[in-house]
Amino acid sequence: MEEDDDVESQASSDSLELDQREEKWIQHYSNSHRILLVGDGDFSFSVSLANAFGSATNMVATSLDSQETLARNYTNGIKNVMELEELGGLVLLGIDATKMSDHFFLRTQRFDRIIYNFPHVGFQYSESSNFQIESNKRLLKGFFKNAKVILQDNGEIHVTHKIGGIYDKWNVVKKAEKNGLIQKGRVPFSKADYPGYCNKRAHGWFPDGEFHIGACSTFIFGVKEACSRIRNTT
């Protein structure tokens, strides 16, 4: 929840600090990556990465929520934001995943990893309703379109999503491909790999509750043209 006039100076100092740190990893993510987290609920996934790195200076964590909504919906929302900021991270609220490349700061950045865990528009209809599925597909389309703009040429977009049944109807891979991306991989997702992460409902009468994850995967995408160039030079 930084003031607008602090954003540019913090980004510059972050780059200097990044060069001086020992590389640390948690699963697919390193403190050498410039990481953007999208729609992170109570920001507990961001905090999990930051704690593994010992710093959040390479991270920008975002949410569609306002500060008021964050405080109302999540017991640990404000606490997690404060922890991220104390570790040097940048937190931006009110960020729409389908419009984020127009944001005054984000549009000037290029990220090595863009992470969106369990994208969902909220329950306008039942989960199996065609209207609900189409709404979620539009969310994915808008996210991919925007994420591609602010991704490094050799960067990756990671979308963690439930698999099987109605969730396959979201056509995650096809939506990515229609926006100039290519699938580079797909790996099983385990919440246990990220200590402290709480997957929040975010919507409905109990937004602070955790939903049942079940079978899910992290889909990994890159920009199609950039992947082709890399292949041609190796």
Residues 61-76 have pLDDT tens digits of 999 999 999 999 999 9
pLDDT at 19 over 50: no
Look up the pTM and report it.
0.87
In angstroms, the CA 61 to CA 82 distance is 12
Give residue-wise pLDDT tens across range 48-58.
999 999 999 99
- Residue 128 in tokens: 């199996």
- CA distance linking residue 78 with residue 137, whole number of Å: 30
Residue with tokens 């030079």: 233
pLDDT in tens, 88-114: 999 999 999 999 999 999 999 999 999
Residue type, 225: E
pLDDT of the residue at 42 = 96
Amino acid, res. 211: F
Tally Cβ neighbours within 10 Å of residue 128: 10
Binned at pLDDT 50, 70 and 90, residue 131 comes out as: very high
Residues with Cβ within 8 Å of residue 18, at least 6 apart in sequence: 31, 32, 34, 57, 58
Residues 6 or more apart whose CB falls under 8 angstroms from that of 186 comprise: 217, 218, 219, 220
Q: Give DSSP secondary structure letters for 49-105.
A: HHHHHT--TTEEEEESS-HHHHHHH-TTHHHHHHHHHHTT-EEEES--TTTGGGSTT
